[in-house]
Amino acid sequence: MTTLDELQRWLTQKEDNSLECKEAKNGFDEGELMEYCAAMANEKGGVFILGVERGHQITGTTAFLETLEKLQHELLQQLRLRVEIEELQDPNGRVLIFHIPRHCPRTPVKYKGRYWMRVGPVKKEMDAETLRKICNEYEDDYSAGIVPDLEITDLDERAITILKERRARREGRPELAVAPTEQTLRDLELLTENGLTYAALILLGKKEKIATHLPQAEIIFEWRGNPGKISYDFRREWKEPYMVALNEIWDMISARNIRTPFQQGFAVPLEIPAFDENSCREAINNAITHREYRRPGAIVFIRCSPLSFSVVSPGGFPEGVTSENALERSIRRNPRIAETLQHTGLVERSGQGLDRIFEQSIRQGKGKPDFSGTDEFEVHLNIPAQVRDPTFVQYLERVANERQITFSFEELLELEHIRTQGSVSSPAYRENFLDLKLIEQVGRTKNARYVLSRSYYEHIGRKGSHTREMGLSRDAKKQLILEHLQRHGRVRRNELQDAFLGTPSQILSNILQELRNKGSIVFFGSRRNGYWAHNKSNITISNSETNDEFIGSKKPN
């Protein structure tokens, strides 16, 4: 319970992101109050006071005089935030004090679909960068915790040297390579006033110290020449500090690399490696940064075969991240490790590494990586190793050069989805792709499919595949329906659906109605149990009747 003395102490302070006073003598707008509460919660929380004028003199307020209990409930319902409200009676008038808690980690507070923040003395709608920072928060950074009794002498000199040299190159400051070890550790917050952190142990600790304090900080590599085998052909374990282990791990992978030659026009043949170095390193860095270290016995596994490169990271996705949104949302489970790897140039900014892995795999014609096998206990990042369709990216590069355009990673990802799934996952790109004639629409309803354009199939020398993907023309389907009815007499709707498997139900209904309206076929019986039959007096379809309509045209049904 706030006392009048405590209130007076607040009123002697300067207003900032955690303190706001409003006069509100004759009332205060509830929506305005909600926005201020959301904005302050999205900072560090604080106190919002009504009944105090700009000079911090108490004037009293009549705001929410009869509705305080209802207001507290509304704040909880609208903001999902428990705001405590106090009503104080000062000699100069009634004062309302709203105690606003800080937002939950990774959960910015919004009101009516909008996120609010404080900028100096005002509130405004939150910018994308601030929103991203809140969404990427993590409540408890295990890697920033202090390891009991760990000393600088317990760190591996080789690892420290690698750390200093990488940091010096990354920051363009050669003097950092020979900086005192203690200063380097403090600069990177691996060493604090309380001692050395778990990040220091994982990245730099001597092998025996890692085994003592964190034995699950282990990496195991397995190779299978036959991907279907249960037993491995080769296995190696690392319990060394990560700064030392990383290059050794890559050498082990590189020794088994397979390169696929790829001729691009008259240029010198290129070689596409099964295991791209940048992607493999990034995937392993990602596992070290995001894994759960608290689970005993939970180990990072790297599993390789001629078909794929897979990294298994303990702990499952952090709360709020799924296999569907992992490319859009990144939450660092161990920020201290992530920040250290950034300072050494081993990883880019949060969230960019995964984008680069996906982009490189698609650009090399291997297809899109996936997270199959992921569950609540571990994350599987699977990167294809075999080249599947290098001509796809070659075609996009030709289009980009001819039209002087550049494809973003998001556009490349969407085109790969259309190529493999035949559907649009992001409608925002659909119209642009249609305008550029990169894709074509098959069907004219909500069940429409999308395929790569005819020019792509001409580029790869498979024109027949384009015809198959586009399907039969509307006219051809009508003629086939008539022939089917002539041959079999009475035919029910489900039988026609079987005959035209792959044709959306609504499109088939439209075709039948067009034939019926022209008098080419007739319908007998009830809608549920009826059947279709041909009209023998009028069974010929002319091109003029159908106006040469093809599935995929943009004319309405």
C-alpha distances in Å from residue 160, one per residue of 138, 177, 221, 280, 336:
27, 10, 24, 23, 16
Architecture in CATH of 152-384: 2-Layer Sandwich (3.30)
Q: Does domain 474-546 have CATH number 3.40.50.1100?
A: no
Digitized pLDDT (tens) for each residue of the chain, 557 residues in all: 788 888 998 898 888 888 999 999 999 999 999 999 999 999 888 899 999 998 899 999 999 998 998 998 999 999 988 898 999 999 999 999 999 988 876 789 999 999 999 887 788 999 888 888 887 765 578 899 999 999 999 999 999 999 999 999 999 999 999 999 999 999 999 999 999 999 999 999 999 999 999 999 999 999 999 988 889 999 999 999 999 999 999 999 999 998 877 655 444 456 889 999 999 999 999 999 989 898 777 899 999 999 999 999 998 887 778 888 888 777 778 999 999 999 998 876 555 688 889 989 988 888 899 999 998 889 999 999 998 877 777 788 888 888 888 888 888 888 888 888 777 877 778 888 888 888 888 776 666 778 888 888 787 777 766 666 666 667 777 888 888 888 878 888 888 777 765 566 777 888 888 898 988 899 888 877 788 888 865 444 443 333 333 333 333 33
Q: Across the strands, what pairs with 48? A: 20, 98
Distance between CA atoms of residues 88 and 82, nearest Å: 19
Distance between CA atoms of residues 482 and 534, nearest Å: 6
Distance between CA atoms of residues 553 and 441, nearest Å: 7
Q: Does domain 4-135 have CATH number 3.30.950.30?
A: yes
Domain definitions of the chain by residue range: 4-135, 152-384, 390-470, 474-546
At how many degrees (to 10) do helices 352-363 and 409-421 cross? Answer: 50
- Tell me whether domains 4-135 and 474-546 share a fold: no
Distance between CA atoms of residues 231 and 235, nearest Å: 10
As assigned by CATH, the class of the 390-470 domain is: mainly alpha
